[in-house]
């Protein structure tokens, strides 16, 4: 049982999935069938899923072959990215992912360069994680919403839905890093202020983020602190304002994304793993 994938896309896929993974759960992978771009029928896809418990990510890429569900332990995901990185600079380079069993009957993952005229190449091998403990079914329910999620409760009481949303910086950070590498915006979809929000980043990434619990008793419709600004306030409705009023306001209303660059070594790693022309991660 093996599957062949583009090396550059696979390394990028693992990088994005590692953002929403942790050491406890790792990264879940499997092959599936689905539509891709303008292809007339269904094609083989390699789908990946990961979660930290607070934020989850799911993405997919073109593939050839078959792969039953398998879990890459977190440390092996990082090692695989490091091993594959030199080959991402080679156009049309591919690797094979094969599953076998060791003497103890445990699944072993082998990632190696696709054979050429001279035989094999670089290979990387590790013991797979436990698929039985990975919450793929629960995450499928969250991401597909085929079955509605229960109303959020706190101490046995239904939590009221309010305009305010509260986020943990640690949960938002993975989304920002995935969006920055993919050069896409972040779209959030809510059904309740304290319910898990669905997230979309481009046409090939969806996920979920859990709001942080906020038990503040301040007004739920506006910030609970006062601004320390001028006494002069523009009261004219925006629809009746000067045409250039929003322009004069400046950066607060610009449609350009803010440049929130990660640490230098992290930014370098992201830039060295671009999506290939086959990634399909461009809005159309």
Q: What is the pLDDT of residue 274?
A: 58
User: What's the pLDDT band for 173 if we cut at 50, 70, 90?
Assistant: very high
Query: What domains can be seen in the chain, in order of their start residue?
Result: 2-132 (3.10.150.10)
Burial of 269: CB neighbours in 10 Å, binned 0-12, 13-18, 19+: middle
What's the CA gap between 262 and 250, in Å, rounded? 25
What's the CA gap between 159 and 167, in Å, rounded? 16
User: What's the pLDDT band for 255 if we cut at 50, 70, 90?
Assistant: low
Q: What is the pLDDT of residue 284?
A: 36
pLDDT in tens, 89-147: 999 999 999 999 998 889 999 999 987 645 567 889 999 999 999 999 999 999 998 88
User: What's the pLDDT band for 272 if we cut at 50, 70, 90?
Assistant: low
**Can you give the pTM of this predicted structure?**
0.82
Q: Which range has the worst mean pLDDT, 38-42, 49-53, 91-95, 131-135?
A: 38-42
Residue 26 has pLDDT above 80, yes or no: yes
Q: What is the pLDDT of residue 167?
A: 92
Report DSSP letters for the chain, one per residue.
-EEEEEHHHHHHHHHHHHHT--TTT-EEEEEEEE--TT-SS-EEEEEEEEE-SSEEEEEEEE-EE----EEE-HHHHHHHHHHHGGGGGSTT-EEEEEEEE-TTS-EEEEEEEPPBTTB---EEEEE---GGGS-HHHHHHHHH-SSPPPPPEETTEEPPP-S-----HHHHHHHHHHHHHHT---EEE-SSTTSPEEEE-STTEEEEEPPPP----S-TTS-SS-----S----S-GGGS-TTHHHHH-GGG-SSPP-----HHHHHHHHTS---TTS--S--
């Amino acid at each position: 049982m093996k599957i062949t994938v583009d090396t550059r896309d696979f390394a990028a896929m693992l990088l994005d999935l590692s953002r929403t993974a942790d050491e406890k759960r790792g990264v879940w992978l499997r092959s599936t069938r689905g539509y891709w771009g303008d292809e007339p029928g269904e094609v083989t896809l390699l789908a990946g899923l990961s979660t930290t418990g607070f934020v989850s990510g799911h993405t997919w890429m073109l593939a050839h072959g078959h792969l039953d569900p398998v879990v890459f332990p977190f440390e092996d995901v990082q090692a695989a990215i490091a091993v594959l990185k030199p080959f991402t600079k080679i156009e049309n380079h591919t690797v094979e992912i094969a599953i076998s069993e060791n003497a103890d009957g445990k699944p072993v993952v082998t990632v190696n360069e696709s054979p050429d005229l001279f035989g094999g190449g670089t290979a990387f091998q590790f013991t797979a994680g436990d698929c039985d403990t990975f919450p793929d079914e629960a995450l499928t329910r969250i991401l597909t919403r085929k079955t509605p999620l229960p109303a959020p409760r706190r101490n046995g009481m239904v939590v009221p839905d309010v305009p305010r949303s509260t986020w943990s910086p640690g949960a938002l950070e993975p989304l920002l890093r995935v969006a920055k590498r993919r050069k896409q915006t972040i779209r959030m979809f809510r059904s309740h202020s304290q319910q898990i929000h669905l997230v979309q980043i481009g046409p090939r990434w969806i996920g979920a983020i859990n709001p942080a619990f906020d038990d503040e008793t301040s007004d739920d419709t506006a910030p609970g602190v006062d601004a320390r600004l001028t006494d002069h306030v523009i009261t004219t409705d925006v629809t009746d304002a000067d045409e250039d009023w929003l322009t004069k306001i400046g950066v607060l209303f610009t449609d350009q994304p803010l440049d929130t660059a990660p640490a230098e070594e992290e930014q370098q790693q992201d830039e060295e793993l671009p999506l290939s022309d086959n990634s399909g991660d461009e809005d159309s």
